[in-house]
Amino acid sequence: MRTPYVAGYFYPSDPEALKEKIEWAFTHWNGPGYIPEIKRIDPEKGVVVPHAGYDYSAPVAAFSFGSLANSGKYDYYVVVGPNHTGLGAPISIGDEDYLTPLGRAKIKKEAIEELQDDLIVVDNLAHLQEHSVEVEIPFLQFIYGEVEIVPIVMMDQSLEAAEHLALRLKKLSGNFTVIASSDLNHYLALRRLKQLDGYFSTAVLHRDFKALYRYEYSGEVSACGFGPIVTLLSTYSGKVDLLKLSNSIEMTGGETGVGYASFTVDKV
């Protein structure tokens, strides 16, 4: 079992405190303003969510998770995040259940077997100290209760790798959704942060992969999960919506900060 790595740091380690913190995120002035219920009133979709400490990014993440709740319950949840640690394979699937303060998120073993190939491999080392997937799981548990997951971290975030992973995801069995975990630009003053987050968000909304990779590879922007975002956009062909764009400066102050965005992508 994969035990929590950032509980007590990125989010509370006490179950009741964690539930209260997630409720806080949904009702926060910078959040959606409501506690979501599972409804089938929206199209099935995937989402982009930030993965910073809850005090900074959880209200923005709540927009995506609230919208996801309005699209119903899924058989399982594919959570794709960037690899911050440099450990493991280029694209690493975890095949150990994820433990959080809210309980165990079980691995969807059948999906993991379907996904594997020469590039996409099981490698739990990549997940051991990685936070980008972990911080999304309590939100899923808060909304849906018991969930099954497919955790994936990408060290190789190239366009070729993202499109390859998307092709494999399209072939998966069952009713699932994709959650792309990414923060936006890092450690910039507010004016520049908003400007570059705006550039990046516009490229996402227009599915402009050339611009996304030009920004990233030139060093103009520093969104850490651009590969997971492109994977989601390549898996689902429907409408892309930006629900919320904010940053840590707006949440907690400071001279420099990190950007966060909440997007939804309809399946078709």
- Give the type of residue at 213: Y
- The chain-wide mean pLDDT, for the chain, equals 98
Tell me if 173 sits within 8 A of 76, measured CB to CB: no
Query: Which pLDDT value is given to residue 53?
Result: 98
* Average pLDDT score over residue span 118-147: 98
Query: Which pLDDT value is given to residue 210?
Result: 97
Share above pLDDT 90 across residues of the chain, in percent, rounded to a whole number: 99
Query: Which pLDDT value is given to residue 43?
Result: 94
Write the pLDDT tens digit of every residue in 181-230: 999 999 999 999 999 999 999 999 999 999 999 999 999 999 999 999 99
pTM comes to: 0.98
Query: Which pLDDT value is given to residue 56?
Result: 98
**Number of neighbours of residue 172 by Cβ within 10 angstroms:** 19
* Average pLDDT score over residue span 43-71: 98
Q: Secondary structure of 79-90 in the HEC alphabet?
A: EEEECCCCCCCC
Query: Which pLDDT value is given to residue 136?
Result: 98
Residue with tokens 């394979």: 89
pLDDT band at 20 (very low <50, low <70, confident <90, very high): very high
Query: Which pLDDT value is given to residue 33?
Result: 97
* Average pLDDT score over residue span 87-109: 98
Query: Which pLDDT value is given to residue 204?
Result: 98
List the domains of the chain with CATH numbers: 15-266 (3.40.830.10)
Query: Which pLDDT value is given to residue 46?
Result: 98
* Average pLDDT score over residue span 42-60: 97
DSSP H helices, the chain, are 15-27, 54-69, 109-115, 125-128, 131-134, 137-144, 159-170, 190-205, 209-218, 226-235, 248-252
Write the pLDDT tens digit of every residue in 9-18: 999 999 999 9
Write the pLDDT tens digit of every residue in 68-89: 999 999 999 999 999 999 999 9
Write the pLDDT tens digit of every residue in 148-184: 999 999 999 999 999 999 999 999 999 999 999 999 9
Query: Which pLDDT value is given to residue 217?
Result: 96
Query: Which pLDDT value is given to residue 140?
Result: 98
